[in-house]
Amino acid sequence: MRARADEVERGRRLPADLAGALGATGLFRLCVARELGGIEATPRELVEIIEALAEADGSVGWCGMIGASGALLSGYLPDAGAREVFGDPGAITGGVFAPRGRAEAVAGGFRVSGRWAFASGCQHSGWLSLGCAVADKQDVLTVLVPAAELRVLDTWTVAGLCGTGSHDVELEGCVVPAERAVSLVRSRPRRGGPLFGFPAFGLLALGVAAVAMGIARRAVDELVTLAGAKTPTMGRRTLASRASVQADVARAEALLRSGRAFVADRIDAAWARASGGGEVTVDDRAWLRLAATHATQSAAQAVDLMYAAGGGTAIYRDSALQRCFRDVHTVTQHMMVAGPTLELAGRVRLGLEPDAML
């Protein structure tokens, strides 16, 4: 993946053969129900795997996260839809949860139209999940549509995570059968073990944080390598000999490791409740979301320190530091870990009623 990072960046997508190779490892089956031949990995395993992918390449890590976590739908869909989409061992899903589309109930399903931004993986996925507001109802559906039925609009010209192929997609008047539609907001899992009792949106937020943590780990490692070899202009000692750089490396390690520790602590608490057959509480969900947001913000701060310490070397296209900088600050903009998510945990801690729909 590291060897092909420039190809991924220039192509603005994950190449089909690389997506297929990742799929062959079982990556996209991590969150598929065992009943359908999936792995049902633990949340800890998912986070560690995505973090490792993102350390190699942020865009690959992001596509891996989207494809793996999107397979949670396998636990919620009606039987026929679950088998159709996830019964195929080679299935790769991408898509958008945000309800940017419209769904109108018709005989046997829903007529769906809309345009969705940020459709990560739309060019290498066989299926796309799309969020829709249901006409005349206060409800949000996620529908699964064959990728070939959607029109991809070339919109993904961005600062970071350039290789994720997160273009806009468009659909007009497609009838989606009811067995390929589900509400993650109000539905209960139909199959699977404790993974499907773990908060679905909490898991998505943790996946986003895992990408940020992997990018930050790469940035720290890159700076350490650079610092041992680089003698700054007008200097006589290596960058590593500077006290300010030593302190910044220490700060970056503390930011990254403490963020990861908070994530692990909150995963373990929620997982113990889910695997014990209990209901994951609003408090559990709030701290999961806080841990994910905190880890993402801490990772971005760590990358900023390493990018600044790299000096002029860091700005060149052949420096991994500049890409880490661009990628991690694109991750921070995701709605699952953006600043407003802090309000949920704050309201819970202050004893106020939170909006816990997501």
Structural domains in the chain?
5-182 (2.40.110.10), 198-349 (1.20.140.10)
d(CA 356, CA 257): 28
pTM of the model: 0.96
Q: In angstroms, rounded to a whole number, what is the distance separating the alpha carbons of residues 82 and 85?
A: 5
Mean pLDDT of 285-307: 97
Nearest to 104 by CA among 173, 49, 161: 173
How much of the chain, in percent, has pLDDT values that exceed 70?
99
For the stretch 269-287, what's the b/e string if a residue is b when 16 or more beta carbons lie within 10 angstroms of its beta carbon? bbbebbeeeeebeeebbbb
Token representation of residue 358: 């997501």
211-257 pLDDT tens trace:
999 999 999 999 999 999 888 777 778 999 999 999 999 999 999 99
Per-residue pLDDT tens for 76-133?
A: 999 999 999 999 999 999 989 999 999 999 999 999 999 999 999 999 999 999 999 9
pLDDT at residue 159, rounded to an integer: 97
Does pLDDT of 358 surpass 70?
Answer: no
- pLDDT tops 70 at residue 357: no
pLDDT band at 354 (very low <50, low <70, confident <90, very high): confident
34: Cβ contacts below 8 Å, ≥ 6 apart: 40, 192, 193
Exposed/middle/buried for residue 113 (C-beta within 10 Å: 0-12, 13-18, 19+): middle
Helix axis angle for 342-349 and 282-309, nearest 10°, is 130
DSSP-derived secondary structure letter, 95 = E
One-letter amino acid for residue 276 of the chain: G
- Retrieve residue 60's tokens: 């690959």
Mean pLDDT of the chain: 95
- Count CA atoms closer than 13 A to 317's CA, side-chain side: 5
Q: Within a 13 Å sphere around the CA of 302, how many CA atoms are in the beta-carbon half?
A: 33
Taking the C-alpha atoms of residue 348 and residue 341, their distance in angstroms, rounded to an integer, is: 12
Asked if residue 5 has pLDDT above 80, the reply is yes
What is the pLDDT averaged over residues 159-163? 98
pLDDT at 154 over 90: yes
Q: Which of 50, 51, 5 is nearest to 30 (CA)?
A: 50
Residues 6 or more apart from 105 whose CB is under 8 A from it?
A: 134, 135
Distance of CA 22 to the CA centre of its chain: 16
Length of the chain: 358
Nearest to 73 by CA among 111, 45, 31, 36: 31
